[in-house]
Amino acid sequence: MLMHKAADRKIRGESFVKEAAQAKLYASEVSREVANEGIQIHGGYGYTKDFPAERFYRDAKLNEIYEGTSEVLRNTIARELLN
């Protein structure tokens, strides 16, 4: 829903910075939490390359860093809320 709201605002020519930052922040953090649960379920095997859980966690963690860290996104959201 956050992504659709950001896309709708972009299509309308409105400012969508806050909505896009919210969508990315939420998606990246939830994906890492879910991947972490997968690692927990697999126990020690979750860290081995024999199971895809290890790769899912690495990819999810990268999403928190790629194109703006979670902290930068939080600052962007706060700045947009104050404007």
Give the DSSP letter string of 19-75.
HHHHHHHHHHHHHHHHHHHHHHHHGGGGGSTTSTHHHHHHHHHHHHHTTS-HHHHHH
Question: What pLDDT is recorded for position 24?
Answer: 92
67 is catalytic: yes
Diameter of the chain by CA atoms? 49
Question: What pLDDT is recorded for position 51?
Answer: 85
pTM attached to this predicted model: 0.82
Contact (Cβ atoms closer than 8 angstroms) between residue 60 and residue 31: yes
- For 34, the token pair is 């879910």
Residue for token digits 């997968």?
38
Question: What pLDDT is recorded for position 45?
Answer: 83
Catalytic residue among 14, 29, 64, 67: 67
Phi and psi dihedrals of 25, rounded to 5?
-60, -50
